[in-house]
Amino acid sequence: MRLGYHTITWGGVVGDATGVTSVKDLFYRANGSMEAAIADIGSVGYEGIEMFDGNLADHADRPDELREMMENAKLELVSVYTGANFIYSDILPDELHRVHRAAELAKTFGAERLVVGGGARRAAGTTNDDYQRLGEALDRVTDIAESFGLEASYHPHLSTIVESPEELQKLMGLTKIGFCPDTAHLAAAGGDPAALIRQYSDRIRHVHLKDLRKEPFAFLPLGEGDLDMEDIIRAVKESGYDSWLMVELDSYDGDPRVAAEISKKFLDNVL
């Protein structure tokens, strides 16, 4: 397996303010220097990176600049992350327009995977129809990704309608999209990440790794939290998945390069 790291840790995640009034422009972004992130990730020894769609959009008119950063750091762009509400029929065309743009940018910069999160929680409460709508939208996301030669996977996430194991089970039978387990989000929502990886082993197309401390709540570098990361890695291996392991740490109180190094040392030891 090859090791990659998400640039999110450099500044955390933000969304475009224009998205409040223009859904088609609501990209995610890591709110920091991508030049610093790419250089740091490469210096620690990772081989690949994952980026948000908005950070790629920032380089759409100057692609050689981003390519040079990755080449200097000896990194390849593995995957691109995007997301949407997916359950509101009126805005779904504009959301899929943005997913199409994310896939187009991913292809431009040489990525092989599109990772998506989402499924909005309504103020009035979630309905069973919302899962049907989400599943159908994710099938369309899969088709969009495949049209660009990309493999799509769905990332369960806190604050969406797919947090808990029960909610994940509701969705998985309604869509053909692959599964991207995020170890900390699954655990924070009451799941056993290793057990869920084993349960959906045939659907895994991408993997996000981060550790979790439950009290006080914090996402942490690998090996510094409460999760049995060794069993999680064992479960991934048992599934037959033999590809990229992407560390995706939302934030870190100290130097993000140090966090990347901690997780790299842990993975080198376990693998």
pLDDT in tens, 154-190: 999 999 999 999 999 999 999 999 999 999 999 999 9
Using the structure block, give the residue that is written with the tokens 């997913």.
99
Q: Two tokens at 30?
A: 């890591």
CA distance 242 to 201: 12
Provide DSSP, 4-35: EEEGGGTT-EEE-GGGGT-GGG--EEESS-HH
Bridge partners (DSSP) listed for residue 115: 81, 153
> What percent of the chain is helix, strand and coil (3-state, nearest 5)?
45, 20, 35
Pairing between strand 244-247 and 208-209?
Answer: parallel
Q: What's residue 203's pLDDT?
A: 98
Packing angle of the helix pair 128-147, 165-172 (nearest 10 deg):
60
Measured CA to CA in angstroms, residue 175 lies from 112, 133, 180 at distances of 20, 10, 14
pLDDT in tens, 196-229: 999 999 999 999 999 999 999 999 999 999 999 9
DSSP 203: G
Query: For every residue of 117-178, which 3-state class applies, written as one string?
Result: EECCCCCCCCCHHHHHHHHHHHHHHHHHHHHCCCEEEECCCCCCCCCCHHHHHHHHCCCCCE
Q: What's residue 40's pLDDT?
A: 98
Q: What's residue 136's pLDDT?
A: 98
pLDDT in tens, 224-266: 999 999 999 999 999 999 999 999 999 999 999 999 999 999 9
Measured CA to CA in angstroms, residue 98 lies from 25, 59, 101, 105, 157 at distances of 7, 16, 5, 10, 20
Question: Which pTM was predicted?
Answer: 0.97
CA distance 262 to 34: 20
Q: Does domain 2-270 correspond to CATH entry 3.40.50.300? A: no
Q: Two tokens at 144?
A: 């969009």
Q: How many degrees, rounded to 5, is the angle at CA 210 between CA 78 and CA 269?
A: 85
